[in-house]
Structure 1
Protein backbone atom coordinates (compact mmCIF):
# COMPACT_ATOMS: atom_id res chain seq x y z
CA UNK A 1 0.00 0.00 0.00
CA UNK A 2 1.33 3.45 -0.97
CA UNK A 3 0.59 6.01 1.76
CA UNK A 4 0.03 9.45 0.22
CA UNK A 5 0.01 12.84 1.95
CA UNK A 6 -1.95 15.63 0.19
CA UNK A 7 -0.53 19.13 0.73
CA UNK A 8 -2.44 22.14 -0.61
CA UNK A 9 -3.91 25.20 1.07
CA UNK A 10 -7.15 24.88 -0.92
CA UNK A 11 -9.64 22.34 0.46
CA UNK A 12 -11.34 22.10 -2.94
CA UNK A 13 -8.09 20.99 -4.59
CA UNK A 14 -7.44 18.38 -1.91
CA UNK A 15 -11.01 17.10 -2.23
CA UNK A 16 -10.58 16.73 -5.99
CA UNK A 17 -7.34 14.78 -5.65
CA UNK A 18 -8.87 12.67 -2.89
CA UNK A 19 -11.72 11.68 -5.21
CA UNK A 20 -9.23 10.68 -7.90
CA UNK A 21 -7.20 8.48 -5.57
CA UNK A 22 -9.66 7.02 -3.08
CA UNK A 23 -10.76 4.18 -5.37
CA UNK A 24 -7.32 3.36 -6.78
CA UNK A 25 -6.09 -0.03 -5.67
CA UNK A 26 -2.83 0.08 -3.74
CA UNK A 27 -3.00 3.81 -2.92
CA UNK A 28 -4.20 5.23 0.40
CA UNK A 29 -4.62 8.88 1.47
CA UNK A 30 -2.86 8.77 4.82
CA UNK A 31 -3.24 12.47 5.62
CA UNK A 32 -3.72 16.05 4.47
CA UNK A 33 -1.99 19.34 5.23
CA UNK A 34 -2.67 22.92 4.19
CA UNK A 35 0.85 24.30 4.61
CA UNK A 36 4.46 23.24 4.34
CA UNK A 37 5.06 23.32 8.10
CA UNK A 38 2.29 20.79 8.75
CA UNK A 39 3.49 18.62 5.87
CA UNK A 40 6.98 18.38 7.37
CA UNK A 41 5.56 17.58 10.82
CA UNK A 42 3.26 14.91 9.40
CA UNK A 43 6.12 13.21 7.57
CA UNK A 44 8.10 13.02 10.81
CA UNK A 45 5.32 11.38 12.79
CA UNK A 46 3.25 9.29 10.36
CA UNK A 47 3.94 6.66 7.71
CA UNK A 48 4.23 8.45 4.34
CA UNK A 49 5.54 7.10 1.06
CA UNK A 50 4.59 9.87 -1.37
CA UNK A 51 3.76 13.55 -0.85
CA UNK A 52 1.69 15.47 -3.40
CA UNK A 53 2.93 19.01 -2.75
CA UNK A 54 1.60 22.39 -3.85
CA UNK A 55 4.15 25.12 -4.60
CA UNK A 56 2.50 28.30 -3.27
CA UNK A 57 1.04 28.12 0.24
CA UNK A 58 0.86 30.40 3.26
CA UNK A 59 3.90 30.15 5.48
CA UNK A 60 6.52 27.66 4.33
CA UNK A 61 6.06 27.09 0.61
CA UNK A 62 6.34 23.83 -1.25
CA UNK A 63 9.98 24.36 -2.26
CA UNK A 64 11.27 24.68 1.31
CA UNK A 65 9.00 21.89 2.54
CA UNK A 66 10.32 19.62 -0.20
CA UNK A 67 13.89 20.36 0.80
CA UNK A 68 13.18 19.63 4.46
CA UNK A 69 11.37 16.37 3.73
CA UNK A 70 14.14 15.23 1.38
CA UNK A 71 16.73 15.91 4.07
CA UNK A 72 14.66 14.07 6.67
CA UNK A 73 14.13 10.90 4.66
CA UNK A 74 15.29 9.48 1.35
CA UNK A 75 12.35 7.08 1.45
CA UNK A 76 9.64 9.76 1.24
CA UNK A 77 9.11 10.84 -2.36
CA UNK A 78 7.73 14.31 -3.17
CA UNK A 79 5.75 15.13 -6.31
CA UNK A 80 5.23 18.84 -6.94
CA UNK A 81 1.69 19.34 -8.23
CA UNK A 82 1.39 22.99 -9.22
CA UNK A 83 0.14 25.52 -11.74
CA UNK A 84 3.71 26.79 -12.22
CA UNK A 85 5.40 24.94 -15.08
CA UNK A 86 7.68 27.58 -16.59
CA UNK A 87 11.47 27.43 -16.38
CA UNK A 88 13.37 27.51 -14.10
CA UNK A 89 10.91 26.27 -11.46
CA UNK A 90 10.78 22.57 -12.43
CA UNK A 91 14.56 22.23 -12.42
CA UNK A 92 14.89 24.06 -9.09
CA UNK A 93 12.22 21.86 -7.51
CA UNK A 94 13.94 18.68 -8.67
CA UNK A 95 17.25 20.01 -7.35
CA UNK A 96 15.57 20.58 -3.97
CA UNK A 97 14.85 16.85 -3.73
CA UNK A 98 11.52 16.26 -5.47
CA UNK A 99 11.03 13.03 -7.40
CA UNK A 100 8.22 14.26 -9.63
CA UNK A 101 6.71 17.37 -11.20
CA UNK A 102 3.16 17.65 -12.52
CA UNK A 103 0.86 20.43 -13.63
CA UNK A 104 -2.48 20.74 -11.86
CA UNK A 105 -3.95 20.36 -15.31
CA UNK A 106 -2.60 16.81 -15.55
CA UNK A 107 -4.96 13.95 -16.32
CA UNK A 108 -6.02 11.84 -13.30
CA UNK A 109 -4.17 8.83 -14.68
CA UNK A 110 -0.97 10.90 -14.84
CA UNK A 111 -1.26 11.56 -11.10
CA UNK A 112 -1.71 7.85 -10.41
CA UNK A 113 1.19 6.93 -12.70
CA UNK A 114 3.41 9.53 -11.03
CA UNK A 115 2.67 8.19 -7.56
CA UNK A 116 3.42 4.62 -8.57
CA UNK A 117 6.57 5.60 -10.46
CA UNK A 118 8.21 7.66 -7.72
CA UNK A 119 7.28 5.07 -5.10
CA UNK A 120 9.16 2.53 -7.23
CA UNK A 121 12.24 4.75 -7.14
CA UNK A 122 11.83 6.41 -10.53
CA UNK A 123 11.49 10.08 -11.41
CA UNK A 124 8.30 11.27 -13.06
CA UNK A 125 8.05 14.56 -14.93
CA UNK A 126 5.08 15.41 -17.14
CA UNK A 127 6.12 15.06 -20.78
CA UNK A 128 5.55 18.71 -21.71
CA UNK A 129 7.55 19.90 -18.71
CA UNK A 130 10.34 17.39 -19.39
CA UNK A 131 10.53 18.60 -23.00
CA UNK A 132 10.76 22.19 -21.82
CA UNK A 133 13.55 21.29 -19.39
CA UNK A 134 15.43 19.41 -22.11
CA UNK A 135 15.14 22.31 -24.56
CA UNK A 136 16.48 24.71 -21.95
CA UNK A 137 19.67 22.62 -21.91
CA UNK A 138 19.93 22.23 -25.69
CA UNK A 139 18.84 25.73 -26.76
CA UNK A 140 19.07 27.95 -23.67
CA UNK A 141 18.80 31.15 -25.71
CA UNK A 142 15.28 30.11 -26.82
CA UNK A 143 13.90 28.91 -23.51
CA UNK A 144 15.81 30.81 -20.86
CA UNK A 145 14.20 33.36 -18.54
CA UNK A 146 15.81 35.98 -16.30
CA UNK A 147 14.97 33.77 -13.31
CA UNK A 148 17.32 31.01 -14.48
CA UNK A 149 20.19 33.02 -13.00
CA UNK A 150 18.70 32.84 -9.48
CA UNK A 151 19.94 30.38 -6.90
CA UNK A 152 17.49 27.99 -5.27
CA UNK A 153 17.28 30.18 -2.15
CA UNK A 154 16.82 33.35 -4.22
CA UNK A 155 14.04 31.69 -6.20
CA UNK A 156 12.38 30.59 -2.97
CA UNK A 157 12.46 34.13 -1.59
CA UNK A 158 11.19 35.45 -4.92
CA UNK A 159 8.14 33.17 -4.62
CA UNK A 160 7.47 34.42 -1.09
CA UNK A 161 7.84 38.07 -2.09
CA UNK A 162 5.39 37.69 -4.97
CA UNK A 163 2.87 36.31 -2.45
CA UNK A 164 3.16 39.63 -0.59
CA UNK A 165 5.22 38.37 2.33
CA UNK A 166 7.44 40.88 4.10
CA UNK A 167 11.09 40.50 5.06
CA UNK A 168 10.35 39.75 8.73
CA UNK A 169 7.85 37.03 7.78
CA UNK A 170 10.30 35.47 5.34
CA UNK A 171 13.16 35.55 7.84
CA UNK A 172 11.04 33.88 10.52
CA UNK A 173 9.79 31.11 8.21
CA UNK A 174 13.21 30.37 6.74
CA UNK A 175 15.13 30.78 10.01
CA UNK A 176 17.26 33.51 8.49
CA UNK A 177 18.02 36.96 9.86
CA UNK A 178 16.22 39.90 8.22
CA UNK A 179 19.67 41.15 7.16
CA UNK A 180 20.36 37.87 5.34
CA UNK A 181 16.96 37.93 3.62
CA UNK A 182 17.61 41.48 2.45
CA UNK A 183 21.02 40.42 1.14
CA UNK A 184 19.32 37.75 -0.97
CA UNK A 185 16.74 40.31 -2.15
CA UNK A 186 19.30 42.85 -3.28
CA UNK A 187 21.42 40.17 -4.94
CA UNK A 188 18.30 38.99 -6.78
CA UNK A 189 17.38 42.54 -7.80
CA UNK A 190 20.89 43.02 -9.17
CA UNK A 191 20.74 39.80 -11.21
CA UNK A 192 17.31 40.71 -12.61
CA UNK A 193 18.17 44.40 -13.12
CA UNK A 194 15.19 45.61 -11.10
CA UNK A 195 14.83 47.86 -8.08
CA UNK A 196 12.00 46.54 -5.89
CA UNK A 197 9.36 44.00 -4.96
CA UNK A 198 6.62 45.47 -7.18
CA UNK A 199 8.90 45.36 -10.20
CA UNK A 200 9.81 41.77 -9.29
CA UNK A 201 6.14 40.76 -9.28
CA UNK A 202 5.52 42.45 -12.63
CA UNK A 203 8.54 40.64 -14.09
CA UNK A 204 7.26 37.28 -12.83
CA UNK A 205 3.86 37.91 -14.42
CA UNK A 206 5.42 39.08 -17.68
CA UNK A 207 7.47 35.89 -18.00
CA UNK A 208 4.56 33.60 -17.20
CA UNK A 209 5.60 32.40 -13.74
CA UNK A 210 2.33 33.76 -12.36
CA UNK A 211 -0.81 35.44 -13.57
CA UNK A 212 -2.36 38.45 -11.87
CA UNK A 213 -5.45 36.32 -11.22
CA UNK A 214 -3.35 33.67 -9.47
CA UNK A 215 -1.76 36.20 -7.17
CA UNK A 216 -5.16 37.70 -6.30
CA UNK A 217 -6.70 34.29 -5.60
CA UNK A 218 -3.83 33.31 -3.29
CA UNK A 219 -4.34 36.30 -0.99
Structure 2
Protein backbone atom coordinates (compact mmCIF):
# COMPACT_ATOMS: atom_id res chain seq x y z
CA UNK A 1 0.00 0.00 0.00
CA UNK A 2 1.42 3.40 -1.03
CA UNK A 3 0.74 6.00 1.67
CA UNK A 4 0.36 9.57 0.43
CA UNK A 5 0.40 13.02 2.04
CA UNK A 6 -1.49 15.82 0.25
CA UNK A 7 -0.03 19.31 0.71
CA UNK A 8 -1.91 22.31 -0.68
CA UNK A 9 -3.31 25.48 0.85
CA UNK A 10 -6.62 25.03 -1.01
CA UNK A 11 -8.96 22.56 0.69
CA UNK A 12 -10.89 21.99 -2.54
CA UNK A 13 -7.71 20.98 -4.36
CA UNK A 14 -6.88 18.46 -1.64
CA UNK A 15 -10.44 17.14 -1.71
CA UNK A 16 -10.30 16.72 -5.49
CA UNK A 17 -7.04 14.78 -5.37
CA UNK A 18 -8.31 12.65 -2.48
CA UNK A 19 -11.39 11.71 -4.52
CA UNK A 20 -9.13 10.58 -7.36
CA UNK A 21 -6.81 8.52 -5.15
CA UNK A 22 -9.52 6.99 -2.93
CA UNK A 23 -10.64 4.87 -5.89
CA UNK A 24 -7.14 3.59 -6.72
CA UNK A 25 -6.26 0.13 -5.45
CA UNK A 26 -2.99 0.05 -3.57
CA UNK A 27 -2.99 3.76 -2.64
CA UNK A 28 -4.09 5.46 0.56
CA UNK A 29 -4.23 9.15 1.47
CA UNK A 30 -2.64 9.05 4.92
CA UNK A 31 -2.88 12.76 5.70
CA UNK A 32 -3.23 16.34 4.54
CA UNK A 33 -1.37 19.59 5.21
CA UNK A 34 -2.19 23.15 4.18
CA UNK A 35 1.33 24.60 4.26
CA UNK A 36 4.98 23.65 4.03
CA UNK A 37 5.58 23.91 7.77
CA UNK A 38 2.74 21.47 8.54
CA UNK A 39 4.01 19.09 5.86
CA UNK A 40 7.48 19.03 7.43
CA UNK A 41 6.03 18.42 10.91
CA UNK A 42 3.73 15.69 9.60
CA UNK A 43 6.57 13.86 7.86
CA UNK A 44 8.73 13.98 10.97
CA UNK A 45 6.07 12.23 13.06
CA UNK A 46 4.49 9.89 10.48
CA UNK A 47 5.80 7.41 7.93
CA UNK A 48 4.69 8.29 4.39
CA UNK A 49 5.79 7.01 1.00
CA UNK A 50 4.87 9.87 -1.34
CA UNK A 51 4.10 13.56 -0.82
CA UNK A 52 2.09 15.50 -3.41
CA UNK A 53 3.38 19.02 -2.79
CA UNK A 54 2.12 22.40 -3.98
CA UNK A 55 4.80 24.97 -4.79
CA UNK A 56 3.50 28.33 -3.65
CA UNK A 57 1.74 28.30 -0.27
CA UNK A 58 1.70 30.58 2.75
CA UNK A 59 4.81 30.20 4.86
CA UNK A 60 7.97 28.49 3.67
CA UNK A 61 6.34 27.09 0.51
CA UNK A 62 6.88 23.83 -1.32
CA UNK A 63 10.52 24.29 -2.33
CA UNK A 64 11.83 24.74 1.21
CA UNK A 65 9.46 22.05 2.55
CA UNK A 66 10.81 19.61 -0.05
CA UNK A 67 14.39 20.34 0.97
CA UNK A 68 13.59 19.85 4.66
CA UNK A 69 11.60 16.64 4.22
CA UNK A 70 14.17 14.83 2.07
CA UNK A 71 16.94 15.94 4.43
CA UNK A 72 15.27 14.18 7.37
CA UNK A 73 13.63 11.37 5.40
CA UNK A 74 15.53 10.59 2.17
CA UNK A 75 13.24 7.61 1.50
CA UNK A 76 10.19 9.87 1.17
CA UNK A 77 9.37 10.64 -2.47
CA UNK A 78 8.04 14.11 -3.28
CA UNK A 79 6.09 15.07 -6.39
CA UNK A 80 5.65 18.79 -6.99
CA UNK A 81 2.12 19.30 -8.32
CA UNK A 82 1.85 22.94 -9.30
CA UNK A 83 0.79 25.50 -11.86
CA UNK A 84 4.41 26.60 -12.29
CA UNK A 85 5.92 24.84 -15.32
CA UNK A 86 8.30 27.51 -16.62
CA UNK A 87 12.07 27.44 -16.27
CA UNK A 88 13.90 27.48 -13.97
CA UNK A 89 11.51 26.13 -11.31
CA UNK A 90 11.28 22.48 -12.43
CA UNK A 91 15.06 22.09 -12.44
CA UNK A 92 15.44 23.85 -9.08
CA UNK A 93 12.75 21.66 -7.52
CA UNK A 94 14.41 18.45 -8.73
CA UNK A 95 17.77 19.73 -7.46
CA UNK A 96 16.15 20.30 -4.06
CA UNK A 97 15.36 16.59 -3.84
CA UNK A 98 11.95 16.09 -5.46
CA UNK A 99 11.36 12.87 -7.39
CA UNK A 100 8.63 14.20 -9.66
CA UNK A 101 7.20 17.33 -11.23
CA UNK A 102 3.65 17.65 -12.61
CA UNK A 103 1.37 20.44 -13.73
CA UNK A 104 -1.96 20.82 -11.94
CA UNK A 105 -3.47 20.43 -15.37
CA UNK A 106 -2.28 16.81 -15.46
CA UNK A 107 -4.88 14.11 -16.08
CA UNK A 108 -5.80 11.99 -13.01
CA UNK A 109 -4.19 8.91 -14.59
CA UNK A 110 -0.89 10.77 -14.99
CA UNK A 111 -0.91 11.69 -11.30
CA UNK A 112 -1.47 8.02 -10.47
CA UNK A 113 1.31 6.92 -12.85
CA UNK A 114 3.68 9.48 -11.31
CA UNK A 115 2.98 8.21 -7.79
CA UNK A 116 3.66 4.61 -8.83
CA UNK A 117 6.83 5.60 -10.69
CA UNK A 118 8.45 7.58 -7.87
CA UNK A 119 7.44 4.95 -5.32
CA UNK A 120 9.32 2.36 -7.39
CA UNK A 121 12.44 4.53 -7.32
CA UNK A 122 12.13 6.29 -10.66
CA UNK A 123 11.86 9.98 -11.40
CA UNK A 124 8.77 11.31 -13.13
CA UNK A 125 8.56 14.60 -15.00
CA UNK A 126 5.59 15.46 -17.22
CA UNK A 127 6.64 15.11 -20.86
CA UNK A 128 6.04 18.76 -21.79
CA UNK A 129 8.05 19.96 -18.78
CA UNK A 130 10.84 17.46 -19.48
CA UNK A 131 11.01 18.69 -23.08
CA UNK A 132 11.28 22.28 -21.90
CA UNK A 133 14.07 21.33 -19.47
CA UNK A 134 15.91 19.51 -22.24
CA UNK A 135 15.60 22.47 -24.59
CA UNK A 136 17.05 24.77 -21.95
CA UNK A 137 20.18 22.59 -21.96
CA UNK A 138 20.43 22.16 -25.73
CA UNK A 139 19.28 25.63 -26.79
CA UNK A 140 19.73 27.93 -23.77
CA UNK A 141 18.90 31.06 -25.74
CA UNK A 142 15.52 29.60 -26.75
CA UNK A 143 14.28 28.52 -23.33
CA UNK A 144 16.09 30.96 -21.08
CA UNK A 145 14.19 32.68 -18.28
CA UNK A 146 15.50 35.79 -16.51
CA UNK A 147 14.91 33.88 -13.27
CA UNK A 148 17.46 31.21 -14.25
CA UNK A 149 20.19 33.40 -12.76
CA UNK A 150 18.62 33.21 -9.28
CA UNK A 151 19.72 30.79 -6.60
CA UNK A 152 17.31 28.35 -5.00
CA UNK A 153 16.93 30.62 -1.95
CA UNK A 154 16.38 33.69 -4.11
CA UNK A 155 13.67 31.88 -6.07
CA UNK A 156 12.02 30.85 -2.83
CA UNK A 157 11.99 34.42 -1.52
CA UNK A 158 10.78 35.68 -4.91
CA UNK A 159 7.74 33.38 -4.72
CA UNK A 160 7.01 34.55 -1.18
CA UNK A 161 7.24 38.21 -2.22
CA UNK A 162 4.84 37.67 -5.14
CA UNK A 163 2.38 36.20 -2.60
CA UNK A 164 2.45 39.56 -0.83
CA UNK A 165 4.52 38.47 2.16
CA UNK A 166 6.56 41.15 3.93
CA UNK A 167 10.23 40.96 4.83
CA UNK A 168 9.44 40.40 8.53
CA UNK A 169 7.13 37.48 7.70
CA UNK A 170 9.66 35.91 5.36
CA UNK A 171 12.47 36.26 7.90
CA UNK A 172 10.39 34.57 10.62
CA UNK A 173 9.30 31.69 8.40
CA UNK A 174 12.77 31.01 6.99
CA UNK A 175 14.62 31.64 10.25
CA UNK A 176 16.65 34.41 8.63
CA UNK A 177 17.25 37.93 9.86
CA UNK A 178 15.34 40.74 8.07
CA UNK A 179 18.73 42.08 7.01
CA UNK A 180 19.57 38.77 5.32
CA UNK A 181 16.20 38.65 3.54
CA UNK A 182 16.72 42.19 2.29
CA UNK A 183 20.19 41.22 1.05
CA UNK A 184 18.58 38.46 -1.02
CA UNK A 185 15.97 40.92 -2.30
CA UNK A 186 18.51 43.49 -3.43
CA UNK A 187 20.65 40.78 -5.00
CA UNK A 188 17.59 39.62 -6.97
CA UNK A 189 16.80 43.16 -8.05
CA UNK A 190 20.37 43.59 -9.29
CA UNK A 191 20.40 40.27 -11.18
CA UNK A 192 17.00 40.95 -12.78
CA UNK A 193 17.69 44.64 -13.43
CA UNK A 194 14.58 45.82 -11.57
CA UNK A 195 14.05 48.22 -8.70
CA UNK A 196 11.37 46.81 -6.41
CA UNK A 197 8.76 44.23 -5.43
CA UNK A 198 6.11 45.52 -7.85
CA UNK A 199 8.45 45.12 -10.83
CA UNK A 200 9.42 41.68 -9.52
CA UNK A 201 5.78 40.60 -9.44
CA UNK A 202 5.11 41.95 -12.93
CA UNK A 203 8.15 40.09 -14.24
CA UNK A 204 7.01 36.87 -12.55
CA UNK A 205 3.56 37.22 -14.14
CA UNK A 206 5.05 37.75 -17.61
CA UNK A 207 7.14 34.60 -17.28
CA UNK A 208 4.42 32.37 -15.84
CA UNK A 209 5.79 32.24 -12.28
CA UNK A 210 2.81 33.93 -10.69
CA UNK A 211 -0.84 33.23 -11.40
CA UNK A 212 -4.15 32.28 -9.84
CA UNK A 213 -4.09 28.55 -9.08
CA UNK A 214 -6.77 26.38 -10.68
CA UNK A 215 -8.72 23.74 -8.78
CA UNK A 216 -8.25 20.06 -9.54
CA UNK A 217 -11.37 18.10 -10.28
CA UNK A 218 -11.85 14.33 -10.23
CA UNK A 219 -14.16 14.53 -13.22
Unpaired runs of 5+ residues, structure 2, are none
Partner Cα separation in structure 1 for residue 110 and residue 207 of structure 2: 27
Measure how far apart 1:33 and its partner are. Answer: 0.5
Partner Cα separation in structure 2 for residue 113 and residue 145 of structure 1: 29
Helix, strand or coil for the counterpart of 2:24? coil
Partner Cα separation in structure 1 for residue 210 and residue 170 of structure 2: 19
Q: TM-score, normalised by structure 2?
A: 0.96
Corresponding position: 1:42 with 2:42: yes
Partner Cα separation in structure 2 for residue 179 and residue 67 of structure 1: 23
Helix, strand or coil for the counterpart of 1:132? helix
After superposing on structure 2, the runs of 4+ consecutive aligned residues of structure 1 that deviate more than 6 Å are none
State the match for 2:128 in structure 1: 128
Q: TM-score, normalised by structure 1?
A: 0.96
Compare relative contact order (CA 8 Å, sep 6+) and give the higher one, 1 or 2.
2
Helix, strand or coil for the counterpart of 1:32? strand
Measure how far apart 1:89 and its partner are. Answer: 0.6
Corresponding position: 1:72 with 2:72: yes
Helix, strand or coil for the counterpart of 2:200? helix
Partner Cα separation in structure 1 for residue 70 and residue 173 of structure 2: 18
Give matches, 1:1-219, under 5 Å. 1-211=1-211, 214=212
* Alignment size in residue pairs: 214
Partner Cα separation in structure 1 for residue 113 and residue 73 of structure 2: 22
Measure how far apart 1:151 and its partner are. Answer: 0.3
How large is the RMSD of aligned CA atoms in angstroms?
1.1
